[in-house]
Amino acid sequence: MAVSIGTGTKLGQYEVQDFIGQGAMGVVYRAYHAQLARTGAVKVMQAITPDEDSIARFRHEAQAIAQMRHPNILNVFDFGEYQGTPYMIVEYVPGGSLANRLSGPQLDQVAALKYLRGIASGLDHAHGLGIVHRDVKPANVLLEKDDTPVIADFGLAKLLQGSSLKSMTGVTTGTPAYMAPEQVTGSHAGPPADRYSLATIAYEMLTGVIPFDGEGLMEVLYAQVHRDPLPPSARNSALNPQVDAVIMRGLAKDPAARWETSTAFVDALADALAGKPAPAAAKTVVMASPIASTVPLAGPIAAGAAVAVAPPVARAEAVNRGATVAMAYPAPAAQPVADKRSHKRLFAIIAVVAIVLLLISSVVLIAALRTPTLSLSSSTVVAGDPVVVSATNVPADQNGEIELRSTLHIFSFHADSNGRVSVPIVVPRTIGAGDHTVTICWASRCRNSVTLHVIESGVALASPTSGTTPGVTPSASPTPNTTPGASPAPTGGTSRSPQPSPISTPKSTPPPPPLSSPTPNPCPTSSQSALLAVSPATIVAGVTVVTVSGQNFTPYKQGVVYYYFPNTATTPTKTWSVTVGCNGTFSVSFTPAALNIGTARVTAGDAGGRSASKNFSIT
């Protein structure tokens, strides 16, 4: 039940004045400290369940956040609980948010860099104290009267992530448009996640749109993990390739590949916008030669005097020669030694190159051996026919999916202990004639594919040309008006004895055997209604493998299973094609995405007209 705080309520030394607004975390009130003559904002955390564990965690996080003192971080004045619900009293910033500013005309580059520098400074300060924001976005950046950016809601996403959540619309542990890939997948989110969000804000400031614009929630979450956005210059042609490089590094999928600090990112972006060379290139220009650094160790101390009296040019030449530095002039007898050393060095280089090539070849060979093979029992089938998909070199006991495209149909598989897979699938009758791709996928990656050629039902596959009917001897048709078996009358000359006619009597073709009667179905359809079961009872998003089982469906019929999240969605999140067994059952397995927290729905139907649906909860 939501806590209502009326005007005049005392929260510590602050008196609540009026209601400001409501967000995913809870409600916000304006409050006033009379003795300090200071206005603050009260955030009542209704999204946090007021149990003992959650309150303890809230106090711990609030204490850490309150220790931060930085001009670009919102100050926390006080915290506590009101009627069991935790609250924070923070600095009141009346200038609105960066989100409001970005909703107007596009910022110029000077203003964008000013905001980014302030946000970067605040983030680096917090990261130095071991505190990660986890929900950096324009709405969480408030603006002072002089336009100084102030980061709000530090650590609140972590409070929500680790505690029980009330059922409130909009409660998440990050905002999808600005969320780092590791947050989407539920992996560890450290300072690089905040820097990814900062790079997203920079992209939006310079182009006017977020990296994955105009897409639905699930598409954005998928894109954050699996797709690269268009480079900023594709959205704003005034930006140069250096800007693309800086921002795309900030949006790298691998946290280790991003900028080391937020300030380093903004400095590099400022240089790129000004057309200066990239910092990495500048560093490589001034690198010293490795040979020069080893020269002082090459010659004995006695040779130092000879080098000291040599002219500058001679000294430079001696340095370049390396091993001859210790000698004022190379004696003829010493030349063969130098040659031997050169030969030894050459042999050593050749040996090193050979070893490197051998290692590269080994890596390539191992990779090739680990690449799964994929084959079909038949590469050409009629729509509605079965085909067996086989694979080898799959990790032992690996769960995955066989995908049939162009219209996506998914079939689950489990590899045996030797990494072999054999999955019988039924090609959907509605898939359409033509070439379709069969792909094997696991661990969020598709590893290999083959082409399946499908022809329409009713079109016969190629067969041998029909020949002469067996058992019938071909013969000429008998001449009209001629009695079979009699010789024609002679026209002249000596009469001959009648001879039997060589014409054989045609044999009639035997009638085709009658069509056999259809075999009675040994697996009759159950008289009970079709139903779906979901297990286990407790499902954790991003962790639990969910099994959907169907019962009392039409035996041997092709069916389709759909997974919807949330349960009110009209477009399925996942789709599987199944073949109902003799006993009217089937099953599919999957793991819900890390952010699929709430009520989900599965539905299934088969070609016999049976269908069922079931809602279930994900925590």
Task: Return the active site residues.
Answer: 135
Instruction: Give me the helix-helix angle, 262-273 and 191-207, nearest 10°.
Output: 30
* Cis peptide bond prior to 536, omega within 30° of 0: yes
Residues 6+ apart with CB under 8 A from 47: 24, 25, 26, 160, 165, 166, 168, 171
Collapsing DSSP states into helix, strand and coil, what is residue 26? Answer: coil
In angstroms, the CA 247 to CA 229 distance is 11
Neighbours of 604 (CB within 10 A): 25
In angstroms, the CA 395 to CA 296 distance is 54
In angstroms, the CA 523 to CA 424 distance is 20
Collapsing DSSP states into helix, strand and coil, what is residue 404? Answer: strand
In angstroms, the CA 61 to CA 25 distance is 15
In angstroms, the CA 26 to CA 3 distance is 9
Residues recorded for the chain: 619
Nearest Cα to 606, choosing from 563, 571, 554?
554
Instruction: Give me the helix-helix angle, 262-273 and 241-250, nearest 10°.
Output: 170
Collapsing DSSP states into helix, strand and coil, what is residue 343? Answer: helix
Helix (H) or strand (E) holding 618: strand 611-618
Q: Is the dihedral of CA 199, 201, 206, 212 positive or negative?
A: positive
Structure tokens, 588: 């599919």
Q: What are phi and psi of 603, to 5 degrees?
A: -130, 155
Q: Is the dihedral of CA 211, 216, 218, 219 positive or negative?
A: negative
Which residues pair with residue 181 across a beta bridge? none
Contact 265, 195 (CB under 8 A): yes
In angstroms, the CA 373 to CA 76 distance is 59
Secondary structure of the chain: what % helix, strand, coil (to 5)?
30, 25, 45
Largest CA distance in the chain: 154
